[in-house]
Structure 1
Amino acid sequence: MSFIDYYKILGIPKTASENDIKKAYRKLARKLHPDLNPNDKEAERKFKEINEANEVLSNPENRKKYDKYGKDWQHAEAYEKAEQQQKQYQQSQNRRSFGSFQDQDYSDFFESMFGGAYSRAGSKSNPLKFRGQDYSAELQFTLEDVYKTHKRTITVNGKNIRLTIPAGVKNGQIIKIKGHGGKGINGGPNGDLHIKFTILNHSKFKRNNDNLYATIPLDLYTAMLGGEITIPVFEGKVKLKIKPETQNGTKIKLKGKGFPVYKKEGQFGDLFITYQIKTPTNLTNKEKELFSELAKLRNS
């Protein structure tokens, strides 16, 4: 595997800060995104490269390994474990007269460390197998996006992975895609892909777990006399009956009109509405007279 200079790909120095890495990646991603460069194979190749570079350098732990081990950074942990195991074995051999590990003890110990999938160190016919590196990725969605279950394709290390995003995913939630991390060494199992979801909310609703909250403006006349209003929700519209003499700050609950419950098909939280009564402005002379008469009636 040839060495790939991730810093060069993003056009940043090795001393770049996390913020520098983020800015450089976003700038290049906007320029090279496949939607803006249809049928451009070179742009597609570069887009995959900057995604790979960002996945490594934006993760402080992975960046540290990359800076130290270069192209072998994904296997750094496995190599360090193997070296440590060799040291432990050598120490055990030096203490054999004191009841330390025999050959079989060493083999059992090594298997307990690495899941029973490995033979004795140094065997050419059956070399050590190591699990691949875990990868981390972040996906951004809007609240509207995760109101319904949908599919999304992401690119990780040049591979397209088609995911089903369940409705009701929460902000900051992390899911694991088994076997989609780094490739295992010497036939070892692949690592996993950990995806963190960032949910952006541009709607008028506030979300708290599976419940939604909204403040709805209500004109003075409807609040006093009662009536009916219609408000938009994520799916269609809802009609609300307003009781006469509704007070400012009145709260109501609409059962089952909240957000979908994660991985529970057909289950929803509740929607809580707070009425905010709007006082009329720019009154005409006639309106002022009528309000004056009303005030006299109330005070008589």
Structure 2
Amino acid sequence: MAGSGYRDYFKVLGVDRSADADAIKRAFRKLARQYHPDVNPGDATAEAKFKEVSEAYEVLSDPEKRRRYEQFGQYWNQVGGGGPGAGGAGFDVDFGRYGNFDDFINDLLGRFGGAGGGAGFPGGFGGGSGFPGGGFPGGGFPRGAQQRQPINLDAEASVKISFAEAFRGSERTLSVNDERVQVRIPAGVKNGSRLRLKGKGNSQPGTGRRGDLYLNLEVQPHPVWRLDGDQLRAELPVALDELTLGGSITVMTPDGEADVTIPAGTAPGRSLRLKGKGWPLKSGRGDLLLTLSLQWPESWSAEERQLLEQLRQARAQDPRRNWLSSARL
């Protein structure tokens, strides 16, 4: 079809010269249904018209080919090369390889404007290297030939968020392909969580297809809190007398201050569990575990030293009694 001279592809599809990619696609779908050989069996005129509208769509759906076409008119395919029919292959399709009309249209729409060969088919429409001799040998696809795998338009990006954002959730505004996208980060996400933004990935020129964007979340560490599986943990500094004598102390939780009780005689390293005060989970809030850590003073006051001396004099148990007998060789 392309070898017979210049055609006004906009008139062929019945669209204005200002028509966007979606309008061109809609026009092609309508005309392709109307003139498809399966709908018009034995009608050579309809088949020729079908090839003409397919050729027009192939050019106008490709931004670069459309630019050359609009700029150079009938000489467009001599500028930059690779127009329909280049190399004399023409536009021929073996319709028998498709089960129905929708299979053909979906295949054609998905391939026009794709990577490689300018038209999405291996080697393009003529002059390419996808098949021996370029274009479609023998006027159609070789039967049983393996079709090219669909293009993966999905994209990935890493986003750093604070520990507080991961705990409470937040909203971020990201710049994606020159587009500002509002992202909602749900409460309770963990380091390595993945968010999917549907239809915000890479786009395929000329087809309107767009993949998804996957955000990999990197939760920054916190100076106090750490997440251990589903458990929120922290080291809680306590004094010697608090461990020995026990009592009520005020601690900080993610929800604010809270009072907890340390049992008398608690050893360092033991943990206090605060139910429902931990990490947000699908089933509710997890528990908060506070591990008691003896905070040894850097220095002692005179009064403290005097009390410690009294404690030494009054101590009833030798801490090394069992150790001495067990350590003897």
- Report if aligned partners of 2:280, 2:286 keep a CA contact under 8 Å in 1: yes
Of 309, 314, 320, 1:292 maps to: 309
Task: Compute the displacement of 1:137 (Å).
Answer: 2.3
Structure 1 residue identity aligned to 2:269: G
Q: Spell out, residue by residue over 1:206-259, the C-alpha distance to the aligned partner (whole angstroms, 9 max, x if none).
A: 112321111111011221111111221222122211111111111232233221
Of 56, 80, 83, 2:122 maps to: 83
- Which residue of structure 2 lines up, in the alignment, with residue 277 of structure 1? 294
- Report if aligned partners of 2:201, 2:210 keep a CA contact under 8 Å in 1: yes
- Which residue of structure 2 lines up, in the alignment, with residue 26 of structure 1? none
- Report if aligned partners of 1:170, 1:209 keep a CA contact under 8 Å in 2: no
Matches within 5 A, 1:34-49: none
1:214 equivalent in alignment to 2:252? no
Change (3 A) 1:225 1:78: same
Gaps of 5+ in 1: 1-74, 97-101, 115-130
Measured in 2, the distance between the counterparts of 1:284 and 1:236 equals: 32
Measured in 2, the distance between the counterparts of 1:204 and 1:77 equals: 51
- Which residue of structure 2 lines up, in the alignment, with residue 245 of structure 1? 265
Q: TM-score, normalised by structure 1?
A: 0.57
Measured in 1, the distance between the counterparts of 2:123 and 2:286 equals: 51
Change (3 A) 1:285 1:231: closer
- Report if aligned partners of 1:132, 1:190 keep a CA contact under 8 Å in 2: no
Structure 1 residue identity aligned to 2:291: T
How many residues get paired? 201
Change (3 A) 1:169 1:78: farther
The DSSP-based 3-state class of the residue aligned with 1:223 is helix
Of 155, 163, 180, 1:143 maps to: 163
Q: Spell out, residue by residue over 1:123-159, the C-alpha distance to the aligned partner (whole angstroms, 9 max, x if none).
A: xxxxxxxx57333322211110111232221111211
- Report if aligned partners of 2:131, 2:137 keep a CA contact under 8 Å in 1: no
Give the alignment's Cα RMSD to 1 decimal: 3.5
Measured in 1, the distance between the counterparts of 2:123 and 2:273 equals: 60
Matches within 5 A, 1:35-184: 78-79=115-116, 82-83=121-122, 89-90=131-132, 103=141, 105=143, 109-110=146-147, 113-114=149-150, 133-184=153-204
Structure with a larger share of its residues in helix: 1
The DSSP-based 3-state class of the residue aligned with 1:295 is helix
- Which residue of structure 2 lines up, in the alignment, with residue 200 of structure 1? 220
Change (3 A) 1:84 1:237: farther
Structure 2 residue identity aligned to 1:78: A
The DSSP-based 3-state class of the residue aligned with 1:113 is coil
Task: Compute the displacement of 1:95 (Å).
Answer: 11
Measured in 1, the distance between the counterparts of 2:202 and 2:238 equals: 56
Measured in 2, the distance between the counterparts of 1:106 and 1:89 equals: 13
Change (3 A) 1:82 1:171: farther
Measured in 2, the distance between the counterparts of 1:252 and 1:282 equals: 28
